[in-house]
Every structure is written in structure tokens, then in C-alpha cells.
Amino acid sequence: MHSILSRSSVLALGSSILLTSCGTATSPSAEGGKGEGKQELLLVSYAVTKGAYDKILPKFAADWKAKTGQEIKIRTSYGGSGTQTRAVIDGLDADVATLALSADIHKLEEAGLIQPGWEKELPSASIITNSAVAFLTRAGNPKGVRTWKDLVKPGVTVVTANPKTSGGARWNFLGLWGSVTQTGGDQKQAETYVTNVYKNVDNLPKDAREASDVFLKRDQGDVLLNYENEAILATRTGDLKAPFVVPEVNIRIEGPVAVVDKVVDRKGTRKAAEALAAYLFTEEAQQIFAEEGFRPTNPMVWQRVKDRFAPVKTFFSVKDFGGWDAVNKTFFDNGGLWDRLFAQSR
């Protein structure tokens, strides 16, 4: 077993940004009146949302054209949420950011790119989707991985992404930690448990989608920790041959959206950017998120689709850990608990 932490960090720093587009316009322009010019936006998101946005963005473009008479082009960039956040801070001109966790939006706020109070500007505290941590196993689940405790069994090899670059990996970590502290265990017990889990980890991909590829396409590991929506997608495509497990005690994963104020004001794209962010909460968009395996936050859509998702008896949230500022300071900042526990697990 070996550590590839340094390799993952290099991958994160050197990873290229995937850009795609929808629509027909070829150049950005300032917003004008009805039917004037053409509009261009850049949506920056985390890796596993691409399938949903491939379906949602053309519908928004058609809706915008019908309402304004203006053609709109929406470019997209996907990658690990931490990597994407750094790219925006470093100058990637995102009009709208839909990242894997609110902590990454807060980093954009701290960098002066987003005004305080963004959480109050849209429904559901600006959370578009929910999810949960799922366990993906080999056909027949030969290692018998069904609960959080099973991840520390001798001989079980675990695949999870790198919390330094992946929002999904931070959710996985909180799921591991909370499976102890939210069920009566104390911090010492949680530290021991998480350290032992990471002793069974010998691959830290840079994001959730690469983690899926490592497990499903390269056949590495006995169990993959990933978003529930990734498990649903893998089942649908036939890449996953075994039913996946969603632990009944789980972390509520929350995916936020925010308009990047400094960028849209400079580019003159605020009206379109705000319209796109708001559109993500419509029944049409939320239904697509549900079809792609995300738990919708629109109450009406959730009532229609909730039976498609595994029941979770107890959801805990990042608020149970004191909120993202406390979580990052305690767990994920340089020298935090994750660095220390991972070092101990090597």
C-alpha cells in the first residue's frame, strides 16, 4: 500500500479544464433589450454534474430565447470542486458557480468575487440538489461491505477521492466521521475509525468522476465511496454489476449555486446569469436532476420521485459539525485532522 497524496496534488495543479458549450452564439456581449445581440455565460461546476447540465442548459437556452428573443451560449467547465474553486479565484471567468459544497462558494466570497448573502437569494438556501454517500461494490459484494464499520475490515480496499481537490471526498470524510460521532461515539473513536479506513485506501483520485473511473473502468478496489448519483448512473449504464449500498445513517450532501457578482458586473451578464441560477430550481430542471440521480430540493418534484431513492433513516448535515468554516478549519485546512490522520494511515 502506498500514498499518492503528492501525485494527486500534482494532478490537481496540472489538470486541464474541460470546456464545452451549448447554444449557437459565438461571442460574448453585454446585455441589451429584447432580441439584441447575443449572450454568453460560463457555468463552472464539479465533475459529476455534466450529464445533468447537458440536458438542462439547452432547455434554459430555449426558454431564454422564448422570453427575451436573444440567443445565448453557455460554456461549461467541469472538474474537482476544490480545483474549480481555485481556478475561478485565479481568473476563470465564471458567471455562475455550482460547486460541490457551500464551503467552496464561501471561498469565492472571501476572494471578493461573490457578495455576502448569496445563500438567501434563491430557494432552499441556494442548494440545488441533495445526495448521500453510497458504497459501490464488486459483483456479489464478496467482501460483504454493507455498513460504515465494514470499511475497516482487513483486506478491504477502499477507493475515495482526495479531499484536497474534491468536494465529494470531503462529503465522504464527513460521512465516515459522522457515522461515529452522530451515533454515540466520541472524537477519539472517530479518529481511530477514520485512520483505519484510510489504511485501506491506496488510491486518491482528484475528483468523484475519476474515482468512479478508477473503480469501474480500471477495476481497482473492493468498494468505492461516492455520490449516490454516481452509483445510480453506473447502474443505469451497466458499469456497476452489483446493487449499491446507501447507509441508513448518512450525510446530507448539499450542492449550492451562486452568481459570481464581480464577473457578471464586469461582463454585463448579471440578468442572464441570475436567470440561469433561478432556472435550476424550476420543476423542469429539478426533474432532470432527479433523472440523473440527484435528490431534488424542489418539494413538489421530490414528492414525485422520492421512491426512486434509497431510504435514509437518519441524515446528519454539515451544521452538525459547526458549519463549513469550522469543518474546514478542523478537518481540511493545511495541518488539519485529515492531513494528520492520513499521515498516520500510511
**Cα 168 from Cα 80, distance rounded (Å):** 8
pLDDT at 242: 81
Please, is 246 exposed, middle or buried when counting C-beta atoms within 10 Å of its C-beta (0-12, 13-18, 19+)?
Answer: middle
pLDDT at 37: 75
Q: Which of 218, 259, 225, 257 is nearest to 239 (CA)?
A: 218
C-alpha cell belonging to residue 52 = 445533468
pLDDT at 36: 61
Across 50-63, b (16+ Cβ under 10 Å) vs e yields: ebbbebbbeebbeb
DSSP secondary structure letters along 87-105: HHHTT---SEEE-SSHHHH
pLDDT mean for each 10 residues of the chain (346 residues): 35 38 39 65 96 98 97 96 96 97 96 97 97 96 96 96 92 97 96 95 90 94 95 92 93 98 98 98 98 97 97 96 94 92 82
Q: Which of 240, 222, 218, 221 is nearest to 230 (CA)?
A: 240
pTM metric for this prediction: 0.87
Query: Hey, is 276 helix, strand or coil?
Result: helix
Under 8 Å between Cβ of 344 and 193: no
> Tell me, what DSSP letter sits at residue 24?
S
Q: What are the chain's domains?
A: 15-130+254-308 (3.40.190.10), 133-251+313-345 (3.40.190.10)
Residues 6+ apart with CB under 8 A from 27: 38, 40
Instruction: Tell whether the torsion through CA atoms of 277, 282, 288 and 292 is positive or negative.
Output: positive
